[in-house]
Chain A
Amino acid sequence: MWPTDRFRRKSGAAAPPPETPLVLIGRDGRRRVVLAADAAAHAAGLRIGMPASKAQALVPGLVVHEADPEADGNALERLALWALRRYAPIAAADPPDGVVIDTTGADHLHGGEAAMLTDMVERLGAAGLVARAAVADSWGAAHALARFGKRTTTVIPSGETAPAVLVLPIAALRLPAATVDGLRQLGFETIADLAVTPRAQLTMRFGPEPGRRLDQAFARVSEPIEPIRPEGIVEVRRNFAEPIGAAETIARYTGRLVVELCAELETRGQGARRLDLLFFRVDNRVEAIRVGTALPVRDVKRLTRLLTDKIETIDPGFGIELMRLAATAAEPLRAKQMISSLAEAAEPDVSDVIDILANRVGVDRLYRFAPVQSDVPERSVRRVAPMAPDTGGGWPGHWPRPARLLPRPEPIETVALLPDHPPVTFTWRGVRRRVKRADGPERVFGEWWKRDVELAAVRDYFQVEDENGERYWVYRAGDGEDTATGSHKWFMHGIFG
């Protein structure tokens, strides 16, 4: 789908509508064949590799355009760059239609593997690209599952790759088309068929490729990802004559690299927002550390601290022969005046500890609340970045609000007079409470501009206090007279302190 999606995206408004079948054609030897077909074309029975004239004969009104594999490849590189910036420090294009990312140690920053894949697919979908994603132990397995798996996003837990891959067709193995055809003729359908066949005969007939691809899929041989290197970024590197492995040594050289990087950033007048430290091991594997900062930073001490905090996540194996430190995201950092007044003390800067915490628990787990103009309590707060500029406003404070808001309102049983009296008693979580004092109602109207069902919806909130002094926030769905405004059921929504 990548070439057709890219074509639609490039054409913008001039693109054919999605329900119109679209194919891109090009030359295969002397024939003109279909090189890419979109979902509608697939539904109409067109396949990749079919002669162009046959496709045109099969589907009337087919939109045919010339394929441009070179531009597709370049765009794929840019997509890999986007993945590098957004998700993990090791990413590369996986031509013709994929991007491979080493997510080790990066998934927790995006809320776990499944959440990260969903996020990826949704973001690409919003950009008009149909995407499928998979996480597995090896590049080969992830490649196969993303293309031939049943679901859009697949997460295979560590160590369970083999059973998931065995059921896939042999086309998933990244073998040349001729080899796949040859294997099919011999009756091989799934990877499982191939995996149980003795290697010698396979190699005699098809060369070493099937065996190598099988081993790569099952992570029996390593397959390093050569990470894409964006141009124009600040990057420093250090080669080692003797491989290094001790944590203290790594920390020492990290410190030196940071000094060099900061000097380079200073000449450009920039501060780092994200740093990637790559370790190239002697056994051809790449380990990586990624740290982010909330504001541009050029402070050697702070950046070194952020990086060295994560050294324990690195497995040096038999040794590291090359370290590369790059500021994959940098922003202008200008000198600013410190507060020079003698009278007022400067408010301590917490951005460094925020960076440390954010790199530990994940960026989205650290937030501030900001007010939203909505009377519906659960919609009145939104999360903003911890260092986002302070808007200064708060919530309208004329009604007391509970310290704890239940994640979902819980139904309660009440004895209450309609239409506008608070409950006399109520039962919540199996405990019956008698209401001694109450305040209300505070009427909250539904937001019809958000959802149609809220057009007439009303909630009447009461603050009630029982005989022990425990104060609760309860509401009745509906205004007490008209059932169109709500079910007249009562709910517990919060606990006052």
Chain B
Amino acid sequence: MRTNKEHITGYLRIKGQMSVSTPPAAISELRERIARLEGSNARARTVLPFGVHAIDRVLPGGGLACGGLHEVAGGGNGAVDGAAAALFAAGIAARTAGKVLWCVTRPDLFAPAIEQAGLPPGRVIYLEAGDEKSVLACFEEGLRGGFGAVVAEVTRLSMTASRRLQLAAESSGAIGIAVRRWRRQTEATDFGQPTAADTRWRVSVLPSTPLPVPGVGRARWHLELIRCRAGESADFTVEACDAKGRIALPSDVADRPLQKEIGRRRASA
């Protein structure tokens, strides 16, 4: 059943790219049928835009789907410490309305940093669960329960579990963010396993924005959209969340197209 759907979407995408002359009516009709198959057409899905055109352009609907599950993991050492992934998740959660539930198993999150990513301490309720299983159970309960966003740090996320989470998120319209965090670097290969999440991101740290004086500038991330349902994967270089939870394109990337920059660097090398 599931593979069928993916086939249809894949087919559509290829068709759409190959021949511009396909009548849009047929496509929209097919899309409707797919939506009916997926069963989520009861609720018009709203999106949460990043406010960065380059990113919003590749996401279906122009932003992160509300009422969906999204996966975030850190790259490199970030797979273990999950620091950048947590800040990225905090930035998304900060831009939703209402309270935020944050489920953890290891209580090493530093609340002042979360506030600096846009989430004031009055909005976040932390839940310290004993094990992975209860994190997932509480994650699902939170998604059904009226929070604006629910963030949970999970190690293993099976297809079944993620499907349950996705359905829970669809039922309430809350954004669910699974921050994938592993005990060891080698376990991070688990991130390749398929899940039912809407999008899958990897956040890796980059050297910070250069300053004219000695010091550390605004943090930069290499943001990879590894998987996106009904969309293309892409990667970006962004500046980390500001005090309102917004990420931004670095000015040197924003002012000049990335392609040209790479071309010039190659030419000069």
Q: B10-18, B119-127, B258-266: which lies at the A interface?
A: B119-127
Contacts of B88 in A (CB 8 A): 497
B153: shortest Cβ distance to chain A, in Å?
11
Contacts of B221 in A (CB 8 A): 497
Q: Is B146 in contact with A353, judged by CB distance below 8 angstroms?
A: yes
Q: Chain A, 346-373, contact with B by CB distance < 8 Å: what is the 0/1 string? A: 0111101110110011000111111100
Q: A73-81, A89-97, A467-475, A477-485: which lies at the B interface?
A: A467-475
Assuming the contacts A361-B129, A361-B138, A469-B207, asked whether A350 and B99 have C-beta atoms less than 8 A apart, the reply is yes
Q: Is B216 in contact with A497, judged by CB distance below 8 angstroms?
A: no
Q: B26-34, B36-44, B103-111, B159-167: which lies at the A interface?
A: B103-111
Q: B77-85, B186-194, B226-234: which lies at the A interface?
A: B77-85
Cβ of B182 within 8 Å of any chain A Cβ, yes or no, is no
B180: shortest Cβ distance to chain A, in Å?
15
Cβ of B214 within 8 Å of any chain A Cβ, yes or no, is yes
A43: shortest Cβ distance to chain B, in Å?
43
Q: Is A469 in contact with B206, judged by CB distance below 8 angstroms?
A: yes
Q: Is A404 in contact with B219, judged by CB distance below 8 angstroms?
A: no
Q: Is B113 in contact with A365, judged by CB distance below 8 angstroms?
A: no
Q: Is A357 in contact with B141, judged by CB distance below 8 angstroms?
A: yes
CB-CB nearest in chain A for B205: A469
Q: Which of B101, B117, B207 contacts A436 (CB 8 A)?
A: B207
Assuming the contacts A360-B137, A365-B129, asked whether A403 and B76 have C-beta atoms less than 8 A apart, the reply is no
Q: A51-59, A385-393, A411-419: which lies at the B interface?
A: A385-393
CB-CB nearest in chain B for A395: B112
Q: Which of B76, B112, B145, B205 contacts A471 (CB 8 A)?
A: B205
Q: Is B81 in contact with A495, judged by CB distance below 8 angstroms?
A: yes
Contacts of B253 in A (CB 8 A): none
A360→B269 CA distance, assembly (Å): 60
A397→B87 CA distance, assembly (Å): 15
Contacts of B35 in A (CB 8 A): none
Q: Which of A381, A386, A437 contacts B112 (CB 8 A)?
A: A381
Assuming the contacts A368-B122, A397-B116, asked whether A471 and B219 have C-beta atoms less than 8 A apart, the reply is yes
Cβ of B114 within 8 Å of any chain A Cβ, yes or no, is yes
Cβ of B67 within 8 Å of any chain A Cβ, yes or no, is no
B window 125-165: CB within 8 A of A: 125-130, 134, 137-138, 141-142, 144-147
Contacts of B54 in A (CB 8 A): none
Q: Is B110 in contact with A386, judged by CB distance below 8 angstroms?
A: no
Q: Is B146 in contact with A348, judged by CB distance below 8 angstroms?
A: yes
CB-CB nearest in chain B for A438: B216
Q: Is A386 in contact with B129, judged by CB distance below 8 angstroms?
A: no
Q: Is B134 in contact with A360, judged by CB distance below 8 angstroms?
A: yes
Cβ of B86 within 8 Å of any chain A Cβ, yes or no, is yes
B110: shortest Cβ distance to chain A, in Å?
4
Q: Is B146 in contact with A404, judged by CB distance below 8 angstroms?
A: no
Q: Chain A, 370-382, contact with B by CB distance < 8 Å: what is the 0/1 string? A: 1100000100110
A397→B115 CA distance, assembly (Å): 8
Q: Is B83 in contact with A496, judged by CB distance below 8 angstroms?
A: yes
Tell me whether chain A's interface is mostly helix, strand or loop, or mixed. Answer: mixed
Cβ of A400 within 8 Å of any chain B Cβ, yes or no, is yes
Q: Is A403 in contact with B87, judged by CB distance below 8 angstroms?
A: yes
A370→B121 CA distance, assembly (Å): 6
Cβ of A494 within 8 Å of any chain B Cβ, yes or no, is yes
A116: shortest Cβ distance to chain B, in Å?
16
Q: Which of B77, B116, B138, B147 contacts A360 (CB 8 A)?
A: B138
Cβ of B73 within 8 Å of any chain A Cβ, yes or no, is no
Cβ of A439 within 8 Å of any chain B Cβ, yes or no, is yes
A473→B219 CA distance, assembly (Å): 14
How big is the B interface, by class? 35 or more
A471→B108 CA distance, assembly (Å): 16
A window 310-335: CB within 8 A of B: none
How big is the A interface, by class? 35 or more
Contacts of A403 in B (CB 8 A): 83-84, 86-87, 109-110, 113-114, 117
Q: Which of B108, B127, B142, B206 contacts A404 (CB 8 A)?
A: B108
A380: shortest Cβ distance to chain B, in Å?
7
Q: Is B127 in contact with A357, judged by CB distance below 8 angstroms?
A: yes
Cβ of B220 within 8 Å of any chain A Cβ, yes or no, is yes
Q: Which of B77, B116, B215 contacts A437 (CB 8 A)?
A: B215
Cβ of B208 within 8 Å of any chain A Cβ, yes or no, is yes
Cβ of B254 within 8 Å of any chain A Cβ, yes or no, is no
Assuming the contacts A350-B146, A350-B147, asked whether A369 and B126 have C-beta atoms less than 8 A apart, the reply is yes
Cβ of B240 within 8 Å of any chain A Cβ, yes or no, is yes
Assuming the contacts A348-B98, A401-B113, asked whether A361 and B128 have C-beta atoms less than 8 A apart, the reply is yes
Q: Is B121 in contact with A371, judged by CB distance below 8 angstroms?
A: yes
A400→B219 CA distance, assembly (Å): 10
Contacts of A436 in B (CB 8 A): 207
A356: shortest Cβ distance to chain B, in Å?
6
Of B113, B124, B243, chain A has the most CB atoms within 10 Å of the CB of B113
Cβ of A71 within 8 Å of any chain B Cβ, yes or no, is no
Q: Is B110 in contact with A404, judged by CB distance below 8 angstroms?
A: yes
Assuming the contacts A403-B110, A497-B240, asked whether A391 and B122 have C-beta atoms less than 8 A apart, the reply is yes
Contacts of A349 in B (CB 8 A): 146
Q: Is B124 in contact with A497, judged by CB distance below 8 angstroms?
A: no
Q: Is B115 in contact with A395, judged by CB distance below 8 angstroms?
A: yes
Q: Which of B147, B205, B214 contacts A470 (CB 8 A)?
A: B205
Q: Is B206 in contact with A352, judged by CB distance below 8 angstroms?
A: no
A360→B81 CA distance, assembly (Å): 27
Q: Is B83 in contact with A402, judged by CB distance below 8 angstroms?
A: yes
Cβ of A407 within 8 Å of any chain B Cβ, yes or no, is yes
B144: shortest Cβ distance to chain A, in Å?
7
Cβ of A406 within 8 Å of any chain B Cβ, yes or no, is yes
A350→B143 CA distance, assembly (Å): 11
Of B82, B101, B111, B114, chain A has the most CB atoms within 10 Å of the CB of B111
Cβ of B8 within 8 Å of any chain A Cβ, yes or no, is no
Q: Name 29 interchain pairs, CB-CB below 8 A, sorted by A.
A: A347-B98, A348-B147, A352-B145, A353-B146, A354-B125, A361-B127, A365-B128, A365-B130, A366-B127, A368-B124, A369-B121, A377-B112, A380-B112, A381-B112, A391-B122, A394-B112, A397-B116, A400-B116, A402-B110, A403-B117, A404-B81, A437-B214, A437-B216, A438-B215, A439-B216, A469-B207, A470-B77, A495-B83, A496-B219
Besides the known contacts A357-B141, A361-B138, A471-B216, 19 further A-B residue pairs in the complex with CB atoms under 8 A apart: A350-B145, A361-B129, A361-B134, A367-B128, A368-B125, A395-B112, A395-B121, A397-B243, A400-B216, A402-B83, A402-B113, A404-B108, A407-B108, A437-B208, A470-B77, A471-B205, A497-B83, A497-B84, A497-B87
Please name the 9 residue pairs, one residue from A and one from B, whose CB atoms are nearest each other, closest first: A353-B145, A497-B84, A390-B122, A369-B111, A497-B87, A348-B146, A405-B110, A497-B83, A469-B207
